[in-house]
Structure 1
Amino acid sequence: MPATGRLPSTNLPDTHGEYVLNSQQTPSSITELPQTSVPPNDQPEPAQWWREAVIYQIYPRSFADGNGDGIGDLPGITARLDHLVELGADAIWLSPFYPSPQADAGYDVADYRGVDPLFGQLADADALIGAAHTRGLRVIVDLVPNHTSAAHPWFGAALAAAPGSAERQRYIFRDGRGTTGEEPPNDWQSVFGGPAWTRVTTPDGQPGQWYLHLFDPGQPDLNWDRPEVRAEFLDILRFWLDRGVDGFRVDVAHGLIKQADLADWSYPQEPLSGEGTDRPRPPMWDQDGVHDIYRDWREVLDSYPGERILVAEAWVQPAERLAAYVRPDEMHQAFNFEYLEAAWTAPAQYAVITRSLEATSAVDAPTTWVLSNHDVIRHASRLGLPVGQTRPNGIGADDPQPDGTLGLRRARAASLLMLALPGSAYLYQGEELGLPEHTTMPDEARQDPTWERSGHTRRGRDGCRVPIPWESNAPSYGFGPADRSWLPQPAVYAEYALDLQRGVAGSTYELYRTALRLRREHGLGRGSVYWLTSQDDVITFRNGELTVLTNFGPEAVSLPAGVTILVSSAPLDPEDHVPTDVTVWYHA
């Protein structure tokens, strides 16, 4: 669903006359917008690092290849940790590295207490955690509790056991509909396309029951109504906490509990679930029972020292429903996907920022901000598509191509806007280089199950998962010692390599470094948003002593006389006018 379709009326109060902020005006005379702020914390509690952290997502397959096999690994990550220190990140989040058949790039877990040989050994995970901590970086690992791999021992036991057995009740097995059970138990569709049910074959070769998989058939959904499932994951949490991890990003956190009657759902699957104007809440997402699970998990994390955290991947709306996941006795953070989906317009950005801050402030939680991750088109390409267009699920060579120059310009402005907001910010590997989506990948190279299960109607997520470039003239652009990468790298990636950007004024990498340094020096993560004034094409707010202005419109706008510009996403004109698609931080 387009982001603009979810937003209420977003016509901002207009200023009277030209958009010029006089540096002599008082806050009361220039404030015309409703105020939404996170109450400033005058005496921050250092232990609550997660309230303002900048967390860098590492997709292990595509970050750094230590052994030359074309697949990123844990030793490769360890060898590149200094980059993250230099960048200014506070923590890393690792996508799954557990043993897996890789039906969904590791989100089909066969063993939650190990490391897949593709990525190394358990000792490599221990070494990575230790090396990160030595550098002052915290480590968050992915946890995938909605489903296991079909190769998990539990699912093998379930297939071998009879209907109604304890083994089968760990998953969601049901008899089929129709005269002989030939139809799925309900009409639910997989997120990846096609039915969300697969029928099994009995030991004597006859058709048997059906099992639920909201994603790939290789990812059977667990039955979280079973006590042994809950106990198993409490033990998994302790296993990794004992090894020193600082928290868990919880995959599909809104999906663990299903509506008890598994009622039919005639609507298409959409990224953001919730109660819209034309539909109730989906029966497979955001059921109230998930909160009992996370209260139990929070008790486990709170029993460990050092503020270990839980982060919800919950594609939920409205913001008030999402805020329920971060109440004081549940998770610490929840990804703000409504922000990621918001259109690149002043009204849309103002509305989603305001609504997000209000919802999380009501439960005394930080708001999170994210623009890219391993599941969506990189924002340097996404923002080069027409404003208001529904975000596509992947882009192929014969699809309309984004405007790369415009996309990067807007991406830099969006990143600078995001990093000025109070709360925690998430960065996806490569965005600090301005890395675009690989939009011309050959279809035969695609590995995302979405491509096949959608009948080749959705390209999927491979374009944002391509190994990132470190050195412009090295094999695999420095990704590894050999000229191999598990997904093909486009030739244009050489232009974005880190070695061509480090120390280069105006590069995207140096823009991120500067922004993260200023964010830390000015305490923006623990600050508050004080809206100043806006027209339909501009938003401006103050966070502490720093003022942030983003110009979305076609005309340049003026800054007050005598201000000090700290950083801008693109050069200003000689009279310090802010051009279109530019964000600037300044103070008087």
Structure 2
Amino acid sequence: MYQIYPRSYADLDGDGIGDLPGITARLDHLVELGADAVWLSPFYPSPQADAGYDVADYRDVDPLFGQLADADALIGEAHSRGLRVIVDLVPNHTSSAHPWFGAALAAAPGSAERQRYIFRDGRGTSGEEPPNDWQSVFGGPAWTRTKDVDGQPGQWYLHLFDPGQPDLNWDRPEVRAEFLDILRFWLDRGVDGFRVDVAHGLIKQADFADWSYPLEPMFGEGTEGPRPPMWDQDGVHDIYRDWRQVVDSYPGERILVAEAWVQPAERLAAYVRPDEMHQAFNFEYLEAPWTAPAQYAVITRSLEATAAVGAPTTWVLSNHDVIRHATRLALPVGQTRPNGIGADDPQPDAVLGLRRARAATLLMLALPGSAYLFQGEELGLPEHTTMPDEARQDPTWERSGHVHKGRDGCRVPIPWESDAPSYGFGPTDRSWLPQPSLYAEYALDLQRGVAGSTYELYRTALRLRRELALGRGTVYWLTSPDDVIHFQNGNLSVLTNFGPTSFPLPEGATVLQSSEPLTPDNHVPTDVTVWFHP
């Protein structure tokens, strides 16, 4: 699965923002790369308070990206090339510009319109304090106070993200019915499934209790104590059982994929039981430290947990919410991943980061299950770590009081041509986020057909993954020292060396590919993965 972030993939009309016709024009890249399916981040009408994850209309296309006919054309062209199309669905919250929320603000407390969202009276003598102490993922309180029609302070509404993203009340039948209809709208247009945003957040603990533990909002388990009251509540599973019935009622293979930042693996596996989602993103894998014991442990836990419910495991190293792994893996091993890197932060070692990223990619693509790629990672693209602060658009930057740089660094438009305007992103120099000059050296035209390039590494790995049926295989662990991971999938052996010294391949091994050249005496250097036949 290849994730496209529409505003940063390809800009056909030259306004500096990627669009659906641009994606359609670049679909052959996905075929050449070896992808099976494309997942599109949101392209719906939106005020863009959170780059389109604040949806004002779930049944149309924002003029920034084109028209509904462009979505139909994209789906048709992708299918003609054998590519499946997955669209993003954002059910935890709408935009504050959604007609439902406008009606809620205009209605009285306790009205049916307000009950579609989560409105509460405030605490304090006159309701001047938020209903509880919950914090927004983007920083600051998770509650905003409204004004009544007479201009007086009114109730508060919940937004676990930006104030422009009010949380829906999934206890209301009309909310559930609305999204079943939205599913049918896009399935009728031919989409092959949905990636479900914040899938673990739809149901809140009924008492809306304060959360006194350290805030770990994107995980189902806090650092101690019970699960946070706003995440991974058991009631979400009833919703997805209903969705699964709708998806299964359509011909062909349709899929539901959960974005659920949930730990441990057993809690995540609950989302992919036979009558719920088909897959769930494995963020525990993405977050795992770059050491042999940590990688072994998370791979083993993931495979065991999903096998227990008969589902495939997913593997992902980068997406639109985290620092690109070509940069992230250069950070000190074991360091907590920062929320963005800026010019005034220590700059990661780009050479080390790419070396580890290539090794991590070959390790990931050898694992059974589904692999998810983020646009540009096939070019070895690093994070934009020197972006001017005034260019930042992620609400995290402002909401955190400029403490966290946010996610803009991984969302920069990708380079296609080294010497073209905007590096081939569009026909002009315009780019909604600034592209660093170093992106020129990562451009596709400089890597296509070049032996040893990151792009050709991905192409070869994806071809072999398909030919050897690795996605449908089984991991058999082989005896290894603490600094090496060594397993077999089918007749392919995979070895990653995390240690400080090179490691010898077995006598007579036939190398299919490696993330970096081996030594003359057939040893695997540090931070290298090799695929071979024993």
TM value normalised by structure 2: 0.99
Q: Equivalent of 1:328, from 260, 264, 274?
A: 274
2:488 matched residue in structure 1: 542
- What is the Cα deviation at residue 271 of structure 1? 5.5
Give, in whole Å, the separation in 1 of the partners of 2:221 and 2:415: 41
Residues 380 and 434, structure 1, Cα contact 8 Å, conserved in 2? yes
1:234 matched residue in structure 2: 180
2:466 paired with 1:517: no
Residues 60 and 97, structure 1, Cα contact 8 Å, conserved in 2? yes
Q: Equivalent of 1:121, from 59, 67, 72?
A: 67
- What is the Cα deviation at residue 273 of structure 1? 1.8
Give, in whole Å, the separation in 2 of the partners of 1:197 and 1:318: 28
Q: Equivalent of 1:483, from 426, 429, 439?
A: 429
2:439 matched residue in structure 1: 493
2:420 paired with 1:474: yes
Q: Report Cα offsets for 1:370-401 as digits up to 9, x if no partner.
A: 00000000000000110000000000000111
1:134 matched residue in structure 2: 80
Q: Equivalent of 2:52, from 84, 106, 112?
A: 106
Give, in whole Å, the separation in 1 of the partners of 2:68 and 2:75: 11
Q: Equivalent of 2:325, from 365, 370, 379?
A: 379
1:350 matched residue in structure 2: 296
- What is the Cα deviation at residue 408 of structure 1? 0.2
2:280 paired with 1:280: no
Residues 274 and 280, structure 1, Cα contact 8 Å, conserved in 2? no
Alignment of 1:56-95 (within 5 A): 56-95=2-41
Give, in whole Å, the separation in 2 of the partners of 1:556 and 1:225: 57
Give, in whole Å, the separation in 2 of the partners of 1:266 and 1:115: 41
Give, in whole Å, the separation in 2 of the partners of 1:577 and 1:199: 63
Give, in whole Å, the separation in 2 of the partners of 1:276 and 1:195: 18
Residues 191 and 269, structure 1, Cα contact 8 Å, conserved in 2? no
From the superposition, tell whether residues 276 and 172 of structure 1 become closer, same or farther in structure 2 (CA, over 3 Å): closer
Give, in whole Å, the separation in 2 of the partners of 1:322 and 1:101: 32
2:530 matched residue in structure 1: 584
- What is the Cα deviation at residue 268 of structure 1? 3.8
Query: RMSD of the alignment, in Å?
Result: 0.7
2:386 matched residue in structure 1: 440
Give, in whole Å, the separation in 2 of the partners of 1:123 and 1:275: 43
Q: Report Cα offsets for 1:93-145 as digits up to 9, x if no partner.
A: 00000000000000000000000000000000000000000000000000000
Give, in whole Å, the separation in 2 of the partners of 1:272 and 1:64: 30
- What is the Cα deviation at residue 275 of structure 1? 3.3
Residues 119 and 157, structure 2, Cα contact 8 Å, conserved in 1? yes
Give, in whole Å, the separation in 1 of the partners of 2:21 and 2:527: 39
Give, in whole Å, the separation in 2 of the partners of 1:236 and 1:134: 25
Give, in whole Å, the separation in 1 of the partners of 2:257 and 2:382: 26
Matching residue's letter, 1:414: A
1:452 matched residue in structure 2: 398
Residues 340 and 409, structure 2, Cα contact 8 Å, conserved in 1? yes
Matching residue's letter, 1:261: D
Q: Equivalent of 2:451, from 500, 505, 524?
A: 505
Q: Report Cα offsets for 1:551-587 as digits up to 9, x if no partner.
A: 0011000011111100100000111100000000000
Higher relative contact order (CA 8 A, sep 6+): 1
Give, in whole Å, the separation in 2 of the partners of 1:354 and 1:290: 26
Matching residue's letter, 1:200: T
Question: Mind listing any 5+ residue stretches in structure 2 that lack a counterpart?
Answer: none
1:291 matched residue in structure 2: 237
Residues 146 and 157, structure 2, Cα contact 8 Å, conserved in 1? yes
TM value normalised by structure 1: 0.90
2:121 matched residue in structure 1: 175
- What is the Cα deviation at residue 272 of structure 1? 4.2
Give, in whole Å, the separation in 1 of the partners of 2:376 and 2:216: 27
Give, in whole Å, the separation in 2 of the partners of 1:434 and 1:111: 35
- What is the Cα deviation at residue 534 of structure 1? 1.7
Which secondary structure state, in structure 2, belongs to the residue aligned with residue 425 of structure 1?
strand
2:201 matched residue in structure 1: 255
2:250 matched residue in structure 1: 304
- What is the Cα deviation at residue 270 of structure 1? 2.5
Residues 215 and 222, structure 2, Cα contact 8 Å, conserved in 1? no
Question: Mind listing any 5+ residue stretches in structure 1 that lack a counterpart?
Answer: 1-54
The count of corresponding residues between Structure 1 and Structure 2 is 534
- What is the Cα deviation at residue 269 of structure 1? 3.2
2:133 matched residue in structure 1: 187
Alignment of 1:12-27 (within 5 A): none
